[in-house]
Structure 1
Amino acid sequence: MLACGTPDAVDRYRQAKQAAARTVLEAKTRVWEEFGEAMEEDYRSASKRFWQTVRRLRRGKQYSANTVYSAGGELLTSTTGDIVGRWKKYFEDLLNPTDLPSNEEAEAGVSEVDSSITQAKVTEVVQAPLQWQGAGVMDEIRPALSTSNL
C-alpha cells in the first residue's frame, strides 16, 4: 500500500486487514469453544483447569528474565535497570574505544602480517572490484586487512 499509494492498493490493504481480523476472531472463538467442551467432558478436573486458566489470563503475558554478565563476570538478573545499563556500557565501549593502539604499535603489528601479501597486491585488488566476486582473491587478502594496517 505504501509503495504504490493507489486507491486500489489501499482497498486491497483494508480487505486484507479485515480478513486477518476475521481469521483471528474465528480462531479465538474456536479455542474458547474447545475449552468449554474440554471443561464439560472432564468435569472432575474442570474446576482446577478453569482456575488455572483464570490465573494465567490475569497474569497477562509473562516475559522471561534475561540474564547478562557484567564487565566483572557477575551474572545480572534484574529485569531492566542493571541489564540495560550493562548493554549501554557495552555498546559505548564498542563504539567509542579508549584503548586505541598508538602509531608505533600499529606499525609493529604490520610487521607481524604475512609478508606474501604486498601493498601492490592490495592496491591491485582494490582497484579491480569485479575480481572481488571470485572467492580466491578475497580469501587471500581478508586475514591481512584490518583498520590498524590501513
Structure 2
Amino acid sequence: MSNLVKASVVFCYKGKTHSASITIELDEYLQVSDTLPELYPIIAKANNYDLYSYEFEMMQAQSIVFSEATGLVAEFITDGLLDIEAFVQAWKDLRCMDALVKIADDVLSVDDLEKNLDLKRALLEAYRLGQASCVSESSATDPLLEL
C-alpha cells in the first residue's frame, strides 16, 4: 500500500505570502529508517528555498498542513495535522502482520490468522520478544530461559 500525502506550508516573508508544498511517498522513508525525516528541509529544497536563509526560518515558524492523503496515512490526519508517531507505529504493525501472515501460511499452512487468534497472539509475542532481545542484547538474562 502506498502512503502518499501532500505537505504544505504557507508563510509570509518580506510582505509576500509564500506557499510551498510537496507530495511525499512516506513508505520510501520508512523502509530505510524507523521514523520520518524532518520535512521542512525536504519541502524547502523541492521549492528552491535556501536552507540557510531567513525565508527558510519563516517557513519553519509555520505548521505543515497535510492533505490529499492516500493509504494508511489518511487515517492519521485530522484538520491538516498528521500524528506522525501513531502513523509510523501503525505502519510498522501492518508490516509486521503481513510478515506473520506469510510465516503462518508458508510454515504452518494456516491461511487465516484471524480464525486462529491464539496462534496470531503467539506469533506476535514471539516477534515482540525478538524485538526486545535486539534492543537489550547486552542484557545478561536470556529471555528464553525465563520460559
Give the structure-2-normalised TM-score: 0.24
Higher alpha-carbon Rg: 1
Give the structure-1-normalised TM-score: 0.24
Q: Which is richer in strand?
A: 2
Q: Which is richer in helix?
A: 1
Q: Which has the higher contact order (CA 8 A, sep 6+)?
A: 2
